[in-house]
């Protein structure tokens, strides 16, 4: 802050000093001056003008305030270029406060960066921060409780296409994923599509798995066209992002018509990469939060 020129410095100082003196004289005059009026107005026989002044403790309150003001201006900058005996300035106070805030911030930041995922899961503040990151970047698609919605998968159940290990979740968030279920309508006739769908449905619902004769044709077709991605036991392959067809968790619907549609026309799923939107710590916090959320649902 630039210093005031001598004229304005003198002007400001003079106004402050004269103002304090004026207030002091005014207070003393109100409480101690004996000013008799010849044409004094009287009400109700004995109530005269000025006979009921303000309470006397007001005098001491104002006097103490004036005294405190003078003391304050001696030690702190209060007028002109004078910085007070403590040489305190707003800029200096701001810099010190900012340094303290930065110091605390970077200490906490360093603690989070150096903590492993197990420690982060046990840290309520870290998990609260991760929850906020999820709400700002993921909830639009996966829902506010991470339970999925429409064609966006549930993130806290036990069915993860690309794996639930830390490195797998980190890759999914940072690099994104592209899942492709090819359309088999041009290769398979409707009868084959129906047979495969019925077989898959029977396995996923644990209904008729032992009826090998009823679903023999569907199983044979499955082994011919689907085994490469979804494995012989229908549990899928994480490396390919191929869904587990042996459970009863479905992203695009688990009824026969939906399964037939998936086989015939295929499916496309895209998880956008967030590496340019989130930094490494934010992704690390999200990964820990998702894993902790999954544990709670077990």
Q: What are the boundaries of each domain within the chain?
A: 1-28+52-89, 114-297
**Could you tell me whether strands 42-43 and 47-48 are parallel, antiparallel, or unpaired per DSSP bridges?**
antiparallel
DSSP string for the chain: -PPPPHHHHHHHHHHHHHHHHHHHHHHHHHHH-----TT--EETTTEETTSSPPPTHHHHHHHHHHHHHHHHHHHS--STT--TTTT--HHHHHHHHHHHHHHHHHHHHHHHHHS-HHHHHT-HHHHHHHHHHHHHHTHHHH-TTSS-BTTBPPSSSS--TT--SHHHHHHHHHH-EEEEE---TTTS-HHHHHHHHHHHHHHHTTSSTT-TTTTHHHHHHHHHHTHHHH-TTS---GGGT----SSS--SS--SHHHHHHHHHH-EEEEE---TTTS-HHHHHHHHHHHHHHHHHH-
Taking residues 156-164, what's their average pLDDT?
Answer: 89
25: pLDDT strictly greater than 80: yes
What lies within 8 Å, CB to CB, of 140 at 6+ separation is none
Question: How confident is the model at residue 36, as a pLDDT?
Answer: 56
Q: What is d(CA 251, CA 228) in angstroms, rounded to the nearest whole number?
A: 20
Q: What is d(CA 212, CA 208) in angstroms, rounded to the nearest whole number?
A: 8
Question: How confident is the model at residue 62, as a pLDDT?
Answer: 86
pLDDT above 90 coverage of the chain, percent? 48
> How long a stretch of residues is the chain?
298
Query: How confident is residue 265, by pLDDT bands cut at 50, 70 and 90?
Result: very high
- What pTM was computed for the model? 0.66
Question: How confident is the model at residue 248, as a pLDDT?
Answer: 87
C-alpha neighbours within 13 Å on the C-beta side of residue 176: 11
Among 182, 147, 185, 196, CA closest to 268: 182
Q: Maximum Cα–Cα distance for the chain, whole Å?
A: 126
212: pLDDT strictly greater than 70: no
pLDDT tens for residues 139-152? 999 999 999 998 89
pLDDT tens for residues 51-100? 556 677 888 888 898 888 888 888 888 777 777 888 877 778 888 888 88
Locate tokens 């296409």: which residue?
Answer: 161
Question: How confident is the model at residue 95, as a pLDDT?
Answer: 86
Question: How confident is the model at residue 60, as a pLDDT?
Answer: 87
Q: What is d(CA 182, CA 184) in angstroms, rounded to the nearest whole number?
A: 6
Q: What is d(CA 272, CA 251) in angstroms, rounded to the nearest whole number?
A: 17
Question: How confident is the model at residue 41, as a pLDDT?
Answer: 65
- Which CATH number is associated with domain 114-297? 1.10.760.10
Question: How confident is the model at residue 50, as a pLDDT?
Answer: 57
Among 177, 174, 151, 170, CA closest to 262: 151
| Residue 128 backbone class (left: φ over 0; alpha: ψ -120 to 50; beta: rest) | alpha
pLDDT tens for residues 91-137? 788 888 888 888 888 888 898 999 998 999 999 999 999 999 999 99
pLDDT tens for residues 222-243? 999 999 999 999 999 998 999 9
The more confidently predicted of residues 169 and 45 is 169
Locate tokens 């037939």: which residue?
Answer: 260
Taking residues 216-223, what's their average pLDDT?
Answer: 93
């Amino acid at each position: 802050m630039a210093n005031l020129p001598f004229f304005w410095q003198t002007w400001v100082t003079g106004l402050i000093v004269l103002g304090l003196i004026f207030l002091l004289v005014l207070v003393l005059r109100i409480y101690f001056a004996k000013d008799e009026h010849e044409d004094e107005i009287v009400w109700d026989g004995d109530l005269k003008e000025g006979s009921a002044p303000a309470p006397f403790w007001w005098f001491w309150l104002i006097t103490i305030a004036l005294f405190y003001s003078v003391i304050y201006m001696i030690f702190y900058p209060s007028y002109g270029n004078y910085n007070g005996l403590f040489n305190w300035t707003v800029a200096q106070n701001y810099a010190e406060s900012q340094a303290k805030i930065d110091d605390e911030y970077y200490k906490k930041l360093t603690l989070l960066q150096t903590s492993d995922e197990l420690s982060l899961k046990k840290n309520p503040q870290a998990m609260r921060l991760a929850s906020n990151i999820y709400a700002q970047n993921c909830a639009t698609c996966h829902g506010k409780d991470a339970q999925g919605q429409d064609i966006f998968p549930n993130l806290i159940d036990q069915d993860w296409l690309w794996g639930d290990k830390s490195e797998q979740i980190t890759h999914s968030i940072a690099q994104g994923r592209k899942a492709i279920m090819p359309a088999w309508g041009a290769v398979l006739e409707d009868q084959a599509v129906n047979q495969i769908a019925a077989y898959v449905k029977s396995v996923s619902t644990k209904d008729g798995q032992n009826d090998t004769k009823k679903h023999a044709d569907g199983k044979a077709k499955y082994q011919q066209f689907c085994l490469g991605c979804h494995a012989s036991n229908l549990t899928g392959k994480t490396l390919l992002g191929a869904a587990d067809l042996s459970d009863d968790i479905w992203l695009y619907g688990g009824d026969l018509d939906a399964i037939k549609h998936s086989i015939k026309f295929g499916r496309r799923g895209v998880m956008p990469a967030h590496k340019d939107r989130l930094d490494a710590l934010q992704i690390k916090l999200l990964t820990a939060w998702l894993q902790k959320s999954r544990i709670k649902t077990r």
